[in-house]
């Protein structure tokens, strides 16, 4: 899909459908509709009422369309426009319309029009709405809305409805806006790349296959990629990760992707102080192991590698966007299976750090593989760690499916991650991490158990992880309930969301040296 900017005025845009951003009337929620749209100029773009011979006024007056967020109305052959159709796209109130809303609006407009067979879309952006962030968000929204997780459907009619072109009309086409459009494209495509990886079924997405994807992506993007195999991890003493992997015929691996900013590469003897690690859980299938999961819904456990896929996608974007900070991505990948070789409840494993863990539940495997990966990231010289993991079902109990949980040992880094999430419209919610929660993690036979009992499951999982970061500033994002969308939205297909990739990318792009 091509996305371009133009200065052609809205009325002159030749396209299958012109999208017009229409607002609702503030606190009145659209109830208090003016006699004519001309009398309420803040709701619809200037000229629209005249171009449509008063149709816009009529749909507003009839309350068929109020301008509330994601509402749409479609008119064919609008009299005063070159476009074949006009789509009124509801934006909600002007006061609440920001980049997260714009991203969704673009996705919803694209999905509505694609469904109707429109292949080229125009969007008119009035001057006061134009900004770099807005263009970036619109480009992302169009790309995200276009993603369909149906690659394995063989229906020949599938794909007949395709949007080929999107053109955004702005009053002035500057280099800064073109750069913003490119950023939006890079980020949107990276997020879709992550979603495509997560969409793959577990028979076609083993640790080895994920590593192959990482290698080819790195070669394309000019990143360095190293894959630690089973033998290397044995040598290093990754007992915790290898214990999870031992029940599967698929060998585990640790994918490492390295981005070094040009300035850092130039002065090797004076490396930059900060080195950010992005770490993602890569369980390509989580059966639960011997502590097996119920069969209902088990098919969804292919998305237990969403954290790893997010790391691959974020590194792909960062290779193109070139932040000033050094970033290394780590994706520990295993399959958690049941077999004669599988790890048993009660087994005790030795982590890379040296601490021993009693495996009381083989389904709490994410923390076991992350423990070794986090310590490895620290030993590789990373100064700040951020991980994303589909770690606990308990996070859905606590937050539902809207927010990812945030757990940290460092207020400053947590603040940065929360700010990045806010900028990017990825909702994040902080949890307590009091020292006293460590009392929930007691093992009679080893240094730590891998589970903390019935209560505060997402917090105890995080307290477990905290043991393995050697006191480095660290943030853990529990994405078990946000990485997958069970029902499609107007702006997004059902399936993997790619969250929190934009938080990862924004964190690196906006990085400022930390105390």
Tell me the catalytic residues.
Answer: 293, 367
Binding region for ligand BES (CB under 6 A) out of 58-66, 122-130, 191-199, 392-400 = 392-400
Considering only residues 480, 492, 505, 507, which one is a binding residue for ligand BES as defined by CB under 6 A?
480
Considering only residues 286, 387, 426, 466, which one is a binding residue for ligand BES as defined by CB under 6 A?
286
Considering only residues 364, 371, 404, 475, which one is a binding residue for ligand BES as defined by CB under 6 A?
364
Angle between helices 306-321 and 175-199 (to 10 degrees): 160
Q: What's the gap between Cα 331 and its chain centre?
A: 16
Q: Which does 457 bind (CB under 5 to 8 A by kind): ligand BES, Zn ion, none?
A: ligand BES
When the beta carbons of 135 and 465 are compared against ligand BES, the nearer one is 465
Give me the 265-284 binding string for Zn ion, x by CB under 5 A, dash otherwise: ------------------x-
Contacts to ligand BES from residues 58-77, by CB under 6 A? none
Size of the site for ligand BES (CB under 6 A): 15
- 507 within 8 A of 323, measured Cβ to Cβ: no
Torsion of Cα atoms, 244 then 250 then 254 then 256, to 10°? -150
Give me the 354-383 binding string for Zn ion, x by CB under 5 A, dash otherwise: ---------x-xx-----------------
- 10 within 8 A of 45, measured Cβ to Cβ: yes
3-state secondary structure of 496: strand
- Going by C-beta distance under 8 Å and a sequence separation of 6 or more, which residues neighbour residue 354? none
- 255 within 8 A of 310, measured Cβ to Cβ: no
Considering only residues 194, 240, 392, 410, which one is a binding residue for ligand BES as defined by CB under 6 A?
392
Give me the 432-471 binding string for ligand BES, x by CB under 6 A, dash otherwise: -------------------x-----x--------------
Binding region for ligand BES (CB under 6 A) out of 79-87, 115-123, 134-142, 384-392 = 384-392
Q: 207 — phi, psi (to 5°)?
A: -55, -40
When the beta carbons of 480 and 493 are compared against ligand BES, the nearer one is 480
3-state secondary structure of 105: helix
Residue 365 sits in the site that holds ligand BES (CB under 6 A): yes
When the beta carbons of 230 and 304 are compared against ligand BES, the nearer one is 304
Min CB(15)–ligand BES separation in Å: 41
Min CB(396)–Zn ion separation in Å: 13
Distance between CA atoms of residues 22 and 89, nearest Å: 6
Q: 75 — phi, psi (to 5°)?
A: -120, 130
When the beta carbons of 335 and 365 are compared against ligand BES, the nearer one is 365
| Greatest C-alpha distance within the chain | 80
The tokens describing 385, both together, are 């760690």
Q: Which does 309 bind (CB under 5 to 8 A by kind): Zn ion, ligand BES, none?
A: none
Considering only residues 140, 230, 250, 304, which one is a binding residue for ligand BES as defined by CB under 6 A?
304
- Name residue 329's beta-bridge partners: 257, 278
Q: Vertex 1, ends 173 and 121: CA angle to 5°?
A: 65
Distance between CA atoms of residues 54 and 213, nearest Å: 54
Parallel, antiparallel, or unpaired for β 253-259 and 326-336?
Answer: antiparallel
First to last CA, the chain: 43
Considering only residues 230, 304, 426, 478, which one is a binding residue for Zn ion as defined by CB under 5 A?
304
Residue 286 sits in the site that holds Zn ion (CB under 5 A): yes
Min CB(305)–ligand BES separation in Å: 10
Q: If you ran DSSP here, which 8-state letter would residue 489 be given?
A: B
Min CB(457)–ligand BES separation in Å: 6
Query: Of 265, 281, 317, nearest to 507 (Cα)?
Result: 317
Query: Of 381, 405, 408, nearest to 473 (Cα)?
Result: 408
Considering only residues 202, 240, 343, 390, which one is a binding residue for ligand BES as defined by CB under 6 A?
390
Min CB(389)–Zn ion separation in Å: 8
Distance between CA atoms of residues 389 and 411, nearest Å: 20
Min CB(429)–Zn ion separation in Å: 21
* Interaction site with Zn ion (CB under 5 A): 283, 286, 304, 363, 365-366
* Interaction site with ligand BES (CB under 6 A): 286, 304, 361, 363-366, 390-394, 451, 457, 480
């Amino acid at each position: 899909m091509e996305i371009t900017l133009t200065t052609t005025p809205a009325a002159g845009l030749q396209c299958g459908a012109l999208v017009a951003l229409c607002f609702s009337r503030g606190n009145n929620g659209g109830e208090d509709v003016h006699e004519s749209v001309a009398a309420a100029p803040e709701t619809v773009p200037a000229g629209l009422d005249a171009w449509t011979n008063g149709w816009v006024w009529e749909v507003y007056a009839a309350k068929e369309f109020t301008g509330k967020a994601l509402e749409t109305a479609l008119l064919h052959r609008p009299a005063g426009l070159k476009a074949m159709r006009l789509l009124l796209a509801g934006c909600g109130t002007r006061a609440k319309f920001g980049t997260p809303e714009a991203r969704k609006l673009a996705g919803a407009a694209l999905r509505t029009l694609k469904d109707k067979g429109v292949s080229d879309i125009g969007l008119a952006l009035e001057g006061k709405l134009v900004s770099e962030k807005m263009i970036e968000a619109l480009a992302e929204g169009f790309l995200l809305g276009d993603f369909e997780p149906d690659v394995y459907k063989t229906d020949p009619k599938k794909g007949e409805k395709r949007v080929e072109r999107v053109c955004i009309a702005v009053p002035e086409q500057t280099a800064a806006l073109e750069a913003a459009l490119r950023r939006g494209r890079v980020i949107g495509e990276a997020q879709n790349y992550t979603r495509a990886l997560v969409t793959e079924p577990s028979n076609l997405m083993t640790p080895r296959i994920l590593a192959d994807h990482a290698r080819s992506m790195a070669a394309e993007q000019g990143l360095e990629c190293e894959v630690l195999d089973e033998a290397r991890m044995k040598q290093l003493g990754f007992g915790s990760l290898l214990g999870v992997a031992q029940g599967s015929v698929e060998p585990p691996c640790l994918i490492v992707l390295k981005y070094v900013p040009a300035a850092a590469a130039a002065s090797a003897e004076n490396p930059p102080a900060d080195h950010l690690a992005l770490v993602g859980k890569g369980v390509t299938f989580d059966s639960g192991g011997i502590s097996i999961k119920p069969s209902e819904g088990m098919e969804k456990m292919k998305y237990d590698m969403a954290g790893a896929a997010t790391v691959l996608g974020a590194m792909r974007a960062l290779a193109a966007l070139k932040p000033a900070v050094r970033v290394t991505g780590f994706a520990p990948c295993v399959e958690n299976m049941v077999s004669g070789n599988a790890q048993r409840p009660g087994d005790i494993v030795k982590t890379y750090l040296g601490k021993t863990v009693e495996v009381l539940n083989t389904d709490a495997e994410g923390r076991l593989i992350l423990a070794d990966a986090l310590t490895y990231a620290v030993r590789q010289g990373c100064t700040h760690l951020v991980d994303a993991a589909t770690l606990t079902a308990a996070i859905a109990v606590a937050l539902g499916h809207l927010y990812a949980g945030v757990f940290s040992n460092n207020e400053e880094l947590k603040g940065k991650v929360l700010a990045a999430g806010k900028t990017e419209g990825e909702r994040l919610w902080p949890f307590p991490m009091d020292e006293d929660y460590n009392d929930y993690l007691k093992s009679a036979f080893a240094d730590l158990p891998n589970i903390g009992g019935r209560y505060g499951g997402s917090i105890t999982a995080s307290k477990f992880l905290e043991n393995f970061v050697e006191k480095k500033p660290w943030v853990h994002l529990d994405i078990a309930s946000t990485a997958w969308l069970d029902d499609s939205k107007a702006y997004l297909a059902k399936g993997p969301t790619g969250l929190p990739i934009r938080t990862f990318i924004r964190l690196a792009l906006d990085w400022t040296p930390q105390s």
